[in-house]
Amino acid sequence: MDGFNTFEKQDKVLVGMSGGVDSSVTVRILQDQGFSVEGAVIRFSPVHEAAVSAARQTADTLKIPLHVIDASEAFEENVIRPFCENYCTGRTPNPCILCNPTVKFRLLAEKATELGCRFISTGHYARVQVGKDGISRIAVPESAARDQSYMLYRLPQEILSRLILPLGEFEKDDIREMARALGLACADAPDSMEICFIPDGDYAAFIRARGFVAKSGRFIGPDGEDLGEHAGVDHYTVGQRKGLGIAAGRPLFVKSILPNGDIQLAETGQEYSSRLSLIDIATPDGHPLPAGDYLVKIRSTAKPVLCIFDGGNTVTFPEPVRAPAPGQSAVFYRNGEVFGGGIIDTTV
C-alpha cells in the first residue's frame, strides 16, 4: 500500500459499494489511510434493491454518507440488451466487461466529480500502476486466485487516472478477517458467482422473458451427421459438454455455433484453436495495441498463455488453446500489466 498513506482529509474518494465484504472493507482501508470517504451504490435494476439495502447498512456501520445512483436506463441499454442480443446469435458475452466502462465506473466517476471527490475506488482485486510513459494501467493483484484484472481491461485513461484499488494488496481471507474485526454483517457472506441480474442462472429464461428470440437449428455431429434439433442457441456456449440433451453414444462438446443457428459438435481433443480474430480492441491509452508477444487470457478464469498479436486483429498461439468462445474477451498482459484486449470474433 506504499504511496497511499500520506493523504489528508481534503483528499476525497467515492467508493462504489454493493453491501458485500470487499467494497465494505475497501471503505475502512481508505479511511485508515487518511481519505475522506463517501460511498455510492448503483441501482442497476430492480434485482439490485437488496444490494442497495445492504450498502445502506454498511454505510451506517462505517459512518459514511451514501449516495444512491439510479442506472436502470443505462444498464438496460448498455448491458442487458447487448447481452440478450449476443446470446441470441450464439455468442457468449461477459456482462461485467460491458458494464464496467459504460455504466458502473462512468457513473461512479460522474458522481465523484459532482461531489468534489478527486478519486474513485471499488473492491476489485486488481492494482493500478502508472508506467514510465505516464499511462495508468490495470495490473494483477497480490491474490492470483481472486484476480479481477481481466474484467477491467476496457477502462479508459480518464477512469484509471482517478482509480484506487486497495484490495490488490490482499488475499480474500485477509479481507474477511478485517470485516469480522469491524463487526460487518457481510463478513462471512458467500461470494456471488452468478450474473448479478440473473441470480438464478437461467440465462435462456431471462432472455426469452424479455421478448428476445434466439436462433434455432440442428446439432451437427463430428462426421456431419444430423443429431436432431437443439433448444436454441441461447442455451449453449462454445466448449460446453453438459446439458446438450443428446444421446450420441460418446462424449461430445460444442465446437462452434454456426451463423445459420446450427451447432457443430466435436469429440474430445478437437476443441483447440491456434488462431483467433478480435473486434472492438481497447487499450488503456486509446492508442492501437502494438504488435508483438503477450500473455493473453481468453476467459476470466483461464490461465494466461503466450500469444503473438499481429498489430491488426489476429492472435496466434504457439500452443493451441481450448475452446475460445466468440463474444468473450482476449486480454493482453506484459509484466503483469494489462495492455489491452478485444472481443473474440472468430476462431481457427
- pLDDT tens, position by position, 115-152: 999 999 999 999 999 998 999 999 999 999 999 999 99
**Residues 151-205: pLDDT tens digits?**
999 999 999 999 999 999 999 999 999 999 988 888 888 887 678 999 888 999 9
Domain count for the chain: 3
Separation CA 294–CA 276 (nearest Å)? 14
The amino acid at residue 87 is: Y
Whether 42 and 134 map to the same domain: the answer is yes
Same domain, 176 and 318: no
Q: Of 190, 166, 199, give the one whose Cα is nearest residue 45.
A: 199
Least confident of 36-50, 172-186, 222-236: 172-186
pLDDT in the model for residue 10: 54
Q: Quote the domain boundaries for residue 124.
A: 12-182
Q: What's the mean per-residue pLDDT of the chain?
A: 93
Catalytic one of 88, 96, 186, 196: 196
Q: Which neighbouring-strand residues pair with 272?
A: 322
Over 70: is that where the pLDDT of 4 sits? Answer: no
196 is catalytic: yes
Are both 263 and 280 inside the same structural domain?
no
At position 80, the amino acid (one-letter code) is I
Contacts of residue 42, defined as CB under 8 A and 6 or more positions apart, other chains included, come to 16, 48, 68, 69, 70, 71, 103, 104, 107, 108
Residues 259 and 285 in one domain: no
Residue 336 lies in a domain: yes
What pLDDT, on a 0 to 100 scale, did the predictor assign at position 249? 82
> Which tens digits make up the pLDDT trace of 304-324?
999 999 999 999 999 999 999
Catalytic residue among 84, 88, 99, 117: 99
Residue 89 falls inside a structural domain: yes
Q: 125: closest CA among 171, 80, 89, 83?
A: 171
Residue type, 224: G
Q: Can you tell me the mean pLDDT for 315-344?
A: 97
pLDDT for the residue numbered 188: 81
Q: In terms of domains, do 171 and 230 share one?
A: no
Q: What is the CATH number of the domain that holds 99?
A: 3.40.50.620
Beta-strand ranges (E) seen in the chain are 12-17, 36-43, 66-70, 119-121, 127-130, 136-139, 163-164, 218-220, 226-229, 252-257, 263-267, 272-282, 292-297, 305-309, 314-322, 329-334, 337-347
Instruction: Mark whether 244 and 161 lie in a shared domain.
Output: no
Q: For residue 12, give the amino acid letter.
A: K
On whether residue 197 sits in a domain, the answer given is no
Q: For residue 321, tell me if it sits in a domain.
A: yes
Task: Give me 8's grid cell.
Answer: 489528508
Give whole-number Cα distances, 141 to 17, 127, 341, in Å.
20, 6, 18
| 104 and 144 assigned to the same domain | yes
With a pLDDT cut of 90, the percent of the chain lying above it is 86
| 149 and 59 within one domain | yes
Task: Kindly report the CATH number assigned to the domain that includes residue 235.
Answer: 2.30.30.280
d(CA 82, CA 48): 19
263 and 279 share one domain: no
Residue 206 maps to a domain: no
Is-catalytic flag, 307? no
**Residue 309: CATH number of its domain:** 2.40.30.10
Confidence (pTM): 0.93
